[in-house]
Structure 1
Amino acid sequence: MAKYQEVVDWITKQVSSGTLSPGDKIPSENDLCVQFNISRQTVRHAIGILVQEGILTAERGSGTYVTDERVRSGERNRIAVITTYVDSYIFPKTIQGIENKLRELGYSVQLFFTNNSSIREREILSEIIEKDEVAGIILEPTRSALPTPNTDLLLKISGMRIPILFMNSYYPELSGIWDPESNRNIPHVSMNDKKCAYKAVKSLLDNGHTKIGCVLKLDDRQGFDRYSGYQEAISERGISPEDANIIWLDTEDLKREELIKDKIWARLSGCTAVFCYNDEMASMVMEILKENGIRIPDEISIVSMDDSDLAKYTRPPLDSIPHPKEKLGERAADNLIRLIHHPGFSATYEFDEEITVRGSVRAIK
């Protein structure tokens, strides 16, 4: 790692953890030179990067401070937060993280829920445009694997100089559209779904499984990214994915569990393990397998993603990759506010998580 990057990472960590708060003065250049055993020029290079990203503010003759991004007098202080659902899964903690961070910075939250409907999302975006009262928008895309019919409204909002940040996923067709204020792509804060899925499937491979089925969400971008991680993991072992063992389900399918039971049971026939899109799907798959007399993990192992409360209370408890929930909400809020005050800030961030092992995977020879 380059020496200047060590300083960048250390200061960023101090700010993220709250050790250094908005308005706090960072150690002097001399102190940082001694601490990291580097030259003053290297320290200045690191500080320059953090100033450019909006994390630090340099005041001539006084020193360098953590940027105070609290709402200023006369500024708009309302942030629109648009999510798909509000239920007992991962959403409440994510919203709590957003609200805590925004309140800390002096901003208020206006919550909207789309119920995963692009029509409802359009109604919400139209209302935001008509009222023109918000300082920024955190948006969880609706059915993000599909082309959104709301591109025109999102572009109109960008043209109004209202920053937008996608949460949990992003619209692929918008990832290449330049934000007119920052000349950057519309950013997102999410999990690194491909890398995390890779780790989940690798845990099955490391336990000797080679016949691995997959149950995925068809209409969310995360489903495709997680499938990509699944493919990469098994391809590294010289295994080709069997289309017959891949199950794609959309939002409407999940409302009709009775109609998809036979499909899931037939497609997982012969598999010794299965990777599920999330804990909700994994819980459903486990019930279907049990109804057919299959013991978990003795006859089939299961690994999932999100590490929700469901993962703790299934029998057996699920091995699952954690969703950062509250931390993701805090980061989304923090990055949006930095984007408001520093339009050049690179606000995209992806969490990389490690699997929680609970006992739903059995090693085989």
Structure 2
Amino acid sequence: MPKYQEVIDWIGKQVSSGKLGPGDKIPSENDLCVQFNISRQTARHAIGILVQEGILTAERGSGTYVTDERVGSGERSRIAVITTYVDSYIFPKTIQGIESKLRELGYSVQLFFTNNSSVREREILTEIISRDEVAGIILEPTRSALPNPNTDLLARISAMNIPILFMNSYYPEMSGGWNPEAGNINGIPHVSMNDKKSAYKAVRSLLDKGHRKIGCVLKMDDRQGLDRYSGYLEAISEENLAPDDSKIIWLDTEDLKKQEHIREKIRDRLSDCTAVFCYNDEVAAIVIQILDEDKRSIPEDISLVSMDDSDLAKLTRPPIDSIPHPKEKLGERAAENLVRLIHHPGFLATYEFEEEITVRGSVREI
């Protein structure tokens, strides 16, 4: 890692942790040189990048300060937060993270819920356009694996100079060809998990225990499902394994509401698998129930890993290995990055969390 990047990362951690708050003065160039054993030119380069990103503000003759992004008098202070659901699973903690960070910065929150319906999403976006009152929008996409019928409204909102930030996922057609090495480019940024890498780690944990017949239960109408399938493919390809379509189960949102017709599919396709990777803990709980009905035990008969590490992962019997969703931290970062976009439209606001698996014993070695 370049020396200047060490300085950037350190200052970023001080800001995100609250050790350096809005308006606080950062250490001088000389202090940074001593702390990191770097030249003054390197320290100046690091500070310059953070100033360009809007994280720091340089005041001639005074020093460099953490940019104060709290809402100013006369500025719009309402943020629209549009999520799919609210009352269960990971959503309350994510919304709590958004609300606490925005409140800290002086913004109020107006909550909307789509219930994962693109029709409802369109109604909400139309209302926001008609009122033209918000300073920015945090939007959790609806069925993000499918072509979105509301891109015209999102384009109109962007043309009104109202910043939009996707949360948890993104609409590919609106993401501007995002490059993880460079950040967001000419599109709507997102704050989410790195679903591909997370799924890779989950499936890798099965492979490392000797499993080769690994089934998948994934969602087909959310972008996360496609990205998690890509992570699955990357992991098995390292072992020169080819994907077996007969062991892959694709579900959509309606399937999860009416589970009866998916039971036979799960029973049939996982019948000769030694392990299964589940889209999330909600799906894993359904799979566990079906396997239990067939007297198949975890991990004795079949190992299981999942995603999100929600309360369900701890409450199922047995508790399951799962990749954590950052929940509150993701909400805080989404709020923080949107506010930074409001003050600095050129800020590269895309951020993806990478997490490590929580092991609880639902995978056995074979």
Q: Same fold (TM over 0.5)?
A: yes
Deviations 1:78-98 (A, max 9, x none): 000000001220000000000
Q: 2:51 and 2:186 mapped to 1: Cα distance? A: 18
For the residue of structure 2 that corresponds to 1:223, the secondary structure is helix
**2:169 aligned with 1:165:** no
Q: Deviations over 1:212-266 (max 9, x none)?
A: 0000001000000000000000000111110000000000111111111001110
Alignment-derived partner of residue 222 in structure 2: 220
CA-CA distance at 1:183 after TM superposition: 7.0
Q: Distance in 2 between matches of 1:61 and 1:126?
A: 48
Determine if the alignment matches structure 1 residue 299 to structure 2 residue 315.
Answer: no
2:153 matched residue in structure 1: 153
User: In the alignment, which residue of structure 2 is the partner of 1:113?
Assistant: 113
Counterpart AA for 1:171: Y
Instruction: Quote the residue 2:63 is aligned against.
Output: 63
Aligned partner of 2:181 in structure 1 is: none
Residue of structure 2 equivalent to 1:129: 129
> Partners of 1:196 and 1:307 in 2: how far apart?
12
Unaligned runs of 5+ in 2: 179-183
Residue of structure 2 equivalent to 1:207 = 209
1:61-88 superposed Cα distances (whole Å, 9 cap, x missing partner): 1000001100001000000000000122
Q: Which moved more, 1:118-127 or 1:250-259?
A: 250-259
For the 8 Å contact 2:176–2:185, the answer to whether it is kept is: no
Q: Distance in 2 between matches of 1:268 and 1:211?
A: 9
Shift of 1:126: 0.1
Give the whole-Å Cα distance in 1 for the aligned partners of 2:176 and 2:327: 27
> How many angstroms apart in 2 are the aligned matches of 1:183 and 1:302?
37
Q: Is the 8 A contact 1:80 1:109 kept in 2?
A: yes
Structure 1 distance, partners of 2:365, 2:22, is: 49
CA RMSD in angstroms comes to 1.1
Runs in 1 of length 4+ with deviation above 3 angstroms? none
Alignment of 1:232-311 (within 5 A): 232-311=234-313
Match of 1:35 in 2: 35
CA distance in 2, matches of 1:284, 1:183: 39
After superposition, give the CA deviation of every residue in 1:145-170 in whole Å (9 maximum; x if it has no partner).
Answer: 00010000000000000000000000
Per-residue CA distance 1:309-349 (angstroms, 9 max, x = gap): 00001011010000000000000000000000001100000
3-state SS in 2 of match to 1:229: helix
| Number of the residue aligned with 2:188 | 186
CA separation in 1, counterparts of 2:298 and 2:177?
Answer: 46
1:145 and 1:171 in contact (8 A); partners too? yes
C-alpha contact 1:177 1:186 (8 A) present in aligned 2: no
The separation in 1 between residues aligned to 2:346 and 2:161, in whole angstroms, is 13
CA distance in 2 between partners of 1:346 and 1:185 (Å) = 10
Conserved in 1, the CA contact under 8 Å of 2:192 and 2:330? yes
One-letter identity of the residue aligned with 2:233: Q
2: CA distance between counterparts of 1:295 and 1:311? 16
Q: Secondary structure at the match of 2:253?
A: coil
How many Å apart are 1:177 and its aligned residue?
7.6
Instruction: Output one character per residue of 1:256-281: Cα deviation in whole Å (capped at 9) or x when no partner.
Output: 11111001110111000000000000
- State how far apart, in whole Å, the 1-side matches of 2:73 and 2:86 are: 32
1:47-58 aligned at under 5 Å gives the runs 47-58=47-58
Q: Distance in 1 between matches of 2:249 and 2:82?
A: 29
Q: How does 1:309-320 map to 2 (within 5 A)?
A: 309-320=311-322
Alignment size in residue pairs: 361
CA distance in 1, matches of 2:45, 2:127: 44
Residue 223 of structure 2 aligns with an amino acid whose one-letter code is R
Distance 2:176 2:55 in 1: 25
Q: Which runs of 5+ in 1 are unaligned?
A: none
8 A Cα contact 1:97 1:329, kept in partner: yes
Instruction: Determine if contact 2:140/2:169 at 8 Å carries over to the other structure.
Output: yes
CA distance in structure 2 between the partners assigned to 1:236 and 1:269 by the alignment: 24
Contact 2:146 2:222 in 1 (8 A): yes
**Deviation, structure 1 residue 184:** 2.5
* Structure 1 counterpart of 2:82, one-letter code: I
Q: TM-score, normalised by structure 2?
A: 0.98
Q: Write the distance in 1 (CA, Å) between the matches of 2:296 and 2:34.
A: 62
Instruction: Give the TM-score, by structure 1 length.
Output: 0.98
Structure 1 counterpart SS, 2:289? helix
Q: Which amino acid aligns with 1:156?
A: R
Q: Are the equivalent residues in 2 in contact too, given 1:53–1:345 (CA < 8 A)?
A: yes
Task: Name the counterpart of 1:197.
Answer: 199
1:299 Cα deviation (Å)?
A: 0.6
8 Å CA contact retained: 1:304, 1:320: yes
Residue identity (%): 82
